[in-house]
Amino acid sequence: MSETSSDTNYTNKRLKTSSSETTRHDDDEDQNWVNNLPEPFVRFLRENDISIEIYQTHENLPRYARIVQYHPDHYTKEYAQKIVKGLRDQMKCGVELVQSFPSFLKLDHNCGPLSQSQVYLDCNVLGMSLSSAIPVYALDIQPNDHILDLCSAPGTKMLLMCESLIKAWREQSPLPYKEPKSHLDCADEYGNGTVTAVEIEKHRAESCRSRIKKANFVVSSRVRLYNTDGTRFNVPPPNKDWWDVKAMRRWKEEGRELSKDKDTKRLPGSKAINSFVKSTNISQLPWYSPKPLRSEFSLGNNGLYDKVIVDAECTHDASLPHIKKYKDWGWDKLATQVVNPDRIKEICNLQIRLLENGWRLLAPGGIIVYSTCTFAAAQNEQIVWWFLKRHPKEAVLEPIPCVENIPYMMPKLPPGIDPDDASGVLGKLKHCVRLDPRVSDTKGMFVARIRKVSTD
């Protein structure tokens, strides 16, 4: 027994030593991955005046999470502190509320997976970078806004927009809160604002659908999801009375009888509107939504959206965790799939078409937010500058109201601008915001907010 015990202890000691060596090796790799970036990507950084030092900040950047909010009790400081304490106790790391963004939590960079905490498993928090929330807050969402999200995956912004609609309504409602029991009740307690989410890639649309299904029905009651091309999307916002069964019945009594489609997917909703699910204009039916937002009555609107967000496809070079993943996926893929010159041209063309279509669907007086997770001026300031020149009378670049307490970088000069014109161009782009990990303590993000001024 004594020899066996001794051998076991020796084996355990060897295993621990090996594990420690492996950990040190992994730590070294984590620190050195920036030095292994492929030459085509380094050249992309150099050509776009992007400092490689940005990527060396990755290991020490804090992580962020967001408190899920859909009930009046969720807006209190006491509730937020309860969530903070729960995460601290369960994750054994530093957790604090973010100044000026009380629904956001800042976690130490060495915290374990959020998904292992009970607070997360109870759906009280979800992982979301603070930088990803800035485009949503830039919309300045108001009660009953109809919002169009043209590039919705993976869906975290989509859910934040839904919750922002709920909060905006509750903050201005004089009525005492009454717990809703169905999708239709939600409009009484939270207003009739909606989010129309569009995603072209099927697997990414499925990610959005998964988030909608996991969300509380108060949140999911006001979002409809389309699996289609955002550059060609042409569905107007829902009828302002989309939730009102009495209005539906009056509409039907006026002679606009609906055809029924027995094959139409039956989604959660009130039985009172089963006969309003339609088949005649299948192109306007959402890919996924609660039943009230699938009815022909809800689609009977020729209006425009109050707010539009274009979180456009880009080279993703400002998302440091995304770039680091290519260490495992293969650096060659980063060179061929991300910073390939032909691919970048396609991306810029796509960004322009998305912005133009979002503008076409935006109501006069409305706001469109253009955002990317790239540091490249060709995909940021140059797109905005081109757009402002194309719409000189209607498009007005505005300050972003939610960044007063976040350090950020000033805009860069778009490529190809004559040096003599530089100061004038930068002056007109002064309201564009660049979040840079070196100063913002977040992942990188570019955000521009443009108002559509009526020319009548």
Q: Is 331 helix (H, G, I), strand (E, B) or coil?
A: helix
User: CA dist 107 to 91, 102, 254, 324, Å?
Assistant: 10, 14, 57, 20
Binding residues: 199, 229, 311
Q: What are phi and psi of 83, to 5 degrees?
A: -65, -45
Report the DSSP beta bridge partners of residue 450.
368, 397
Instruction: Taking the CA atoms of 353, 354, 359 and 361 in sequence, report the sign of the dihedral they define.
Output: positive
> Does the annotation mark 111 as catalytic?
no
* Cα–Cα–Cα angle for 296, 302, 305, rounded to 5 degrees: 105
Report the DSSP beta bridge partners of residue 198.
226
**Can you read off the two tokens belonging to residue 210?**
């998964």
Burial class (CB in 10 A: 0-12, 13-18, 19+), 95: buried
Binding residues for S-adenosyl-L-methionine: 199, 229, 311
The residue from 314, 348, 373, 432 that is catalytic is 373
In eight-state DSSP terms, residue 182 is S
Q: Is 438 helix (H, G, I), strand (E, B) or coil?
A: helix
Residue in the block written with tokens 């339609």? 278
Q: What is the dihedral of CA 120, 122, 126, 127, to 10 degrees?
A: 20
Q: Would you tell me how many other CB atoms lie within 10 Å of the CB of residue 300?
A: 18
By annotation, the residues acting in catalysis are: 373
